[in-house]
Amino acid sequence: MDQHKIKNIVIVGGGTAGWMTAAALAKTLKGQYNIKLVESDQIATIGVGEATIPMINLFNRLLGLDEDEFMRQTQGTFKLGIEFVNWGQIGDRYYHGFGVIGQEAWSIDFYQYWLKQYLAGKAPPLDHYALNNVASMHNKFMRARSDIPNSPVNTIVHAYQFDASLYAKFLRNYSEQRDVQRIEGKISDVQLRDADGHISAVVLDDGRKIEGDLFIDCSGFRGLLIDGALHTPYEDWSHWLPCDTAIAVPCASAPELTPYTRATAHSAGWQWRIPLQHRIGNGHVFSSKFMSADEATAILMNNLDGEALAEPRTVRFRTGKRTKAWNKNCVSIGLSCGFIEPLESTSIHLIQTAIAHLITHFPSAGFEAADIREFNRLMDDEYIWARDFVILHYKATERTDSRFWNYCRQMEVPARLQHKIDLFLTNGRVFREGMELFTKNNWIQVMHGQRMRPKSYHPLVDLTSEEEIKGFLDEVETVVANCANAMPTHAEFIAATCAAK
C-alpha cells in the first residue's frame, strides 16, 4: 500500500461530471480536504446531456437540494419515461415509463396475467396499466403522493430534463459556497512521479502548477489524465452500439409540454426530443458508416417541432469504456471514463454511480489495491448493465428498411443479453441480476414494445380463472385511467410549483 496521505483533491473539468463530483465531495467531505476544480473557458463542455433517470433523486437528496428551486434554476421539466417511435417497425409507438406496471407482485408478475389475455387478443396494450405511461399519453404530471394509500399515485416515479449548462452553473454555485476552489486555465502538461507513475500535478499553459494527491479526470472525451497521461486502454463497443455521431440543435417550444423524452428511430439511428421550460433540445444520433452528416442534419431539421434556435452542432463519439475507471491515483468520471450513447439517458447516472462508489472506497492514508480493484469491478458492472439494456433496443427490431437496421437485427449480442432475450422469448420471464440498474418492468416494456413475443405465459397463471384475471386487469386499468384524469397537466404543475422566473 502507498501510505501517502490524501489531502488535496484536483478535479479536472467543469462539465456535468466535474461539477457533480465537486458538489458531492464538498458535501460529503465536510471541509476536511482541499478540493480544486480546473476548467478552461477556451474548451467548451459537451453541452448536451439533458435527460435523466429517477436515480438522480438520490443524488439531489445527498446534496439536500430543494426540488422546486433546482427546477427553476435549470429550466427543468419532469420526466415520467421515454416514448419510443418507429423502433419495432415504422409506425410503432410505446412508452417506457419509470413506474410500476399493474401491481407489484411477490410471485408471478402482473405482466404474466396481462400476457395471457393479450396473446388471446383480450387486453389492450401494456401502457394502459401503468400510471406513468397513461399520464405521459395525456401530458399529465404530479409527484407521488404517499398520503393516499393503495393508490397508483403512490407509485409515480419521475426524473428530470434540464438545461445542461444551467445544471453545471447551478452545481458550481453550490460547490463554491462549500469551499471548492475553481481555477480557470488550460492544462498543457500532466506531471508524473518517477517512483510509481502517479500523477503529481497538472500544469496550466501560463505556467501555474496545481499539485494534488487524488486526481479526478472529468475532462470529457479528451481523457486528459486517464488516457493522455496514464494511457489506460479503452474497450471499444461500437460493434454492438454502432452510432458514433450526433447532430444537436435546440428549437422553440411546442404547445404541449410533454412529461417525457421522445426517441424516434430513423433509418441509421434515432432522434431525441427533450422538452425544457424555455426550449426543446433535439439531436439526431446516427452511425456515420450508414449515413452522411448532411443527410442526418436534413432529417433532424425536417423533424423539429419549432423554429431552430441555433446552428446544428456535430458531436462525434466512440462507444466503449476504459478498462480501468480508476488507475493509480486517478479516477475517471463521466465521458473520460466511457460512453454508451444517449439512448435511455444513462450517462449522468453513471457519473452519479462513480461518485457514490468513490465515496464508498474513499482512500484514507493512501491507495489500497483492493479498494481500487473493487471500484473498477463495480464500475465495469454498472457500464455493462446499462450497455446491454441499450443494445437491446437495436437488436429487438423487425425493421428491414435499411442496411443499418439489418445490421443491428442480425448482430450477435453479448451472451448475458442473449440469455435474457432467450428467457423472455420462452415464457416471458425476466430476472434482475444483482444490483442491476434496470428492473424487470424496464426490460419488459422495451422487449414487448419492440415486438418480442414470448411463446407462452407463465404456466401458473392458468391456476387463476379467466374471469378473475379479466376482473383484476379491468380494475387496474380503470383505477389508472381515473388517477391520470385527476392529475394536472405537466404545464399546469410546473406553473404552480417551479416555473423559471
Binding positions for L-tryptophan are: 344
Among candidate residues 345, 240, 223, the one with its CA nearest the CA of residue 287 = 240
Smallest gap from residue 49 Cβ to ligand FAD (A): 2
Nearer to ligand FAD, 37 or 115 (CB): 37
Contact flag: residue 220 with ligand FAD (CB under 6 A): yes
Contact flag: residue 49 with ligand FAD (CB under 6 A): yes
Smallest gap from residue 398 Cβ to ligand FAD (A): 26
Contact flag: residue 115 with ligand FAD (CB under 6 A): no
Residue of the chain from 259, 338, 342, 428 that contacts ligand FAD (CB under 6 A): 342
Binding residues for FAD, by number, are 14-17, 335, 348
Tell which positions 289-328 bind ligand FAD, by CB under 6 A: 315, 317
Write the CA distances from 407 to 288, 366, 399, 443, 465, integer angstroms: 14, 48, 10, 22, 44
Contact flag: residue 406 with ligand FAD (CB under 6 A): no
Contact 238, 288 (CB under 8 A): no
DSSP 202-234: EEETTS-EEE-SEEEE--GGG-IIIIIIT---E
Contact 429, 443 (CB under 8 A): no
User: Given the rule CB under 6 A, which of 9-17, 78-86, 147-155, 402-410 is the region that contacts ligand FAD?
Assistant: 9-17
Contact flag: residue 50 with ligand FAD (CB under 6 A): yes
**Residue 447 DSSP SS3:** helix
User: Given the rule CB under 6 A, which of 207-215, 216-224, 376-384, 424-432 is the region that contacts ligand FAD?
Assistant: 216-224
Smallest gap from residue 490 Cβ to ligand FAD (A): 18
Query: Cα-flanking dihedrals φ and ψ of residue 50, to 5°?
Result: -120, 0
Among candidate residues 206, 201, 207, the one with its CA nearest the CA of residue 225 = 201
Q: Which of 79, 140, 324, 395 is catalytic?
A: 79
Contact flag: residue 73 with ligand FAD (CB under 6 A): no
Among candidate residues 341, 243, 281, 334, the one with its CA nearest the CA of residue 50 = 281
Nearer to ligand FAD, 344 or 371 (CB): 344
Task: Please state, in angstroms and rounded to a whole number, the distance separating the CA atoms of residues 318 and 287.
Answer: 10
**79 is an active site residue:** yes
Residue of the chain from 117, 345, 376, 441 that contacts ligand FAD (CB under 6 A): 345
Contact 475, 467 (CB under 8 A): no
Smallest gap from residue 368 Cβ to ligand FAD (A): 26
Q: Which segments within 335-383 are labelled E, that is strand? A: 338-339
Residue of the chain from 212, 334, 449, 454 that contacts ligand FAD (CB under 6 A): 334
Among candidate residues 89, 92, 91, 109, the one with its CA nearest the CA of residue 100 = 109
Tell which positions 11-40 bind ligand FAD, by CB under 6 A: 13-18, 38-40
b/e map 217-252, b = 16+ CB within 10 Å: bbbbebbbbbbbbbebebeebeebbbbbbbbbbbbe
Contact flag: residue 335 with ligand FAD (CB under 6 A): yes
Binding site for ligand FAD (CB under 6 A): 13-18, 38-40, 43, 45-46, 48-52, 164, 186-187, 218-220, 222, 224, 246, 283, 315, 317, 334-336, 342, 345, 347-348, 351
Active site positions, annotated: 79
